[in-house]
Chain A
């Protein structure tokens, strides 16, 4: 249990996908102008990461990994196909998620609807799956990692939106107004998140 908690904290705070690995930044800056869009985007990324990382873990360990096809009597290494299969699975999964939400949870679908398709090409999602392969997580670990990293990303974008909400009243130099200032704030936030390094539970 402590191990899982540690992995969660590690994924959410210490190795925050947005602020220390710079993943999904295009959306991070594009949708953090307003609180509502930031919440929507954060929720969509959290949901998709939490589902796609474990799913890709299963695909990778059962089909693509060197020697994974032994049950078919084949000795094949398909790991070079992981990029194309991960992105395919993510795209298909986002589509299915959207349909399921529309059918069963219309409230959530109204809130996240327009953000879900954008998430397909969000590098945070693919990055989560690639990190899962690079660090050879087990299935259980990949579930925790998916939840943790998604939570961390959502936390970062909501925090940035909160700060930007106030900054629009500020009297910044002309060239810095808007995007420039957003970068500076993200830099300061990233600096603050560095202080989590070495944090452990239990």
Chain B
């Protein structure tokens, strides 16, 4: 592994993270994180599509006419998603029911598009596959973090196993039902962004307006 490859793989994990920095692919990230199991399955599905679409598009990139590249990319991604959808239905039917339309919506995940358009169209196959893997891992990490917090605090369980015994079952833990509702996903990702930006201060957005200082007002 040379430096370029390592950089391509590691950069999307935190510095260029799909969700917290590029703000891409949010729809799925927020919708499937109610339980850890769905978050894990979705991360795996997105990662598979990212790696495969990156390699396929990069492999044929010299043969795609510029004017119809979007349609070609869309067709390749959609075909891969259909495969993923059918595999999930065959081997994990219950989970695919819970994921409902969101497996199909991987097609319109802007993260996959932006990687295909900006990276796979301009780089060699191995590098594109690594870029897909790195982005998939960075994306999956956020999904798994949010999924863990939501399932653990919302139900006291992780992957269906009881971790914190709830009061209804004679334990001490009072489930935090807000975590099971849609708004909690927004709050958790907002907090994650806050945390990461406190650590990586380069990502802080510039101020649009500056409050007037007392002397200036006078």
Residues of A within 8 A of B (CB): 19-26, 28-30, 80, 83-84, 87, 91, 121-127, 130-131, 134, 168-169, 171, 173-184, 186-188, 190-191, 194
Residues of A within 8 A of B204 (CB): 174-175, 177
- 19 interchain pairs, CB-CB under 8 A: A25-B30, A26-B24, A83-B78, A83-B81, A83-B82, A84-B79, A123-B108, A126-B105, A126-B107, A131-B101, A168-B209, A171-B211, A175-B193, A176-B190, A178-B205, A184-B187, A187-B184, A191-B183, A194-B183
Residue B47, interface by CB 8 Å: no
Q: Is the CB of B193 within 8 A of A183?
A: yes
Q: Is the CB of B209 within 8 A of A169?
A: yes
Partner of B190, one of A24, A30, A181: A181
Other than the given A134-B100, A175-B204, A184-B187, 16 more pairs (CB < 8 A) read A22-B27, A25-B26, A25-B30, A83-B81, A123-B108, A126-B107, A126-B108, A127-B27, A130-B104, A134-B101, A173-B194, A175-B197, A179-B205, A180-B193, A180-B194, A190-B183
Residues of A within 8 A of B24 (CB): 26
Cα A22 to Cα B79 with chains together (Å): 24
* Contact A123:B27 (CB < 8 A) given known A173-B194, A177-B207, A190-B182: yes
Cα A87 to Cα B211 with chains together (Å): 47
- Whole-angstrom distance from the CB of B27 to the nearest CB of chain A? 4
Q: How large is the interface on B (under 10, 10 to 19, 20 to 34, 35 or more residues)?
A: 35 or more
The residue of chain B having its C-beta at the shortest distance from the C-beta of A117 within the complex is B70
Cα A186 to Cα B188 with chains together (Å): 12
* Contact A187:B82 (CB < 8 A) given known A22-B182, A29-B26: no
Q: Is the CB of B75 within 8 A of A84?
A: yes
Residue B162, interface by CB 8 Å: no
Partner of A183, one of B74, B187, B201: B187
Q: Is the CB of B78 within 8 A of A176?
A: no
Cα A174 to Cα B28 with chains together (Å): 27
Residue B161, interface by CB 8 Å: no
Q: Is the CB of A121 within 8 A of B79?
A: no
Residues of B within 8 A of A176 (CB): 190, 193-194, 197
Cα A77 to Cα B30 with chains together (Å): 32
178-198 of chain B: CB within 8 A of chain A:
181-187, 189-191, 193-198
Q: Is the CB of A186 within 8 A of B105?
A: no
Cα A130 to Cα B183 with chains together (Å): 23
Cα A108 to Cα B53 with chains together (Å): 36
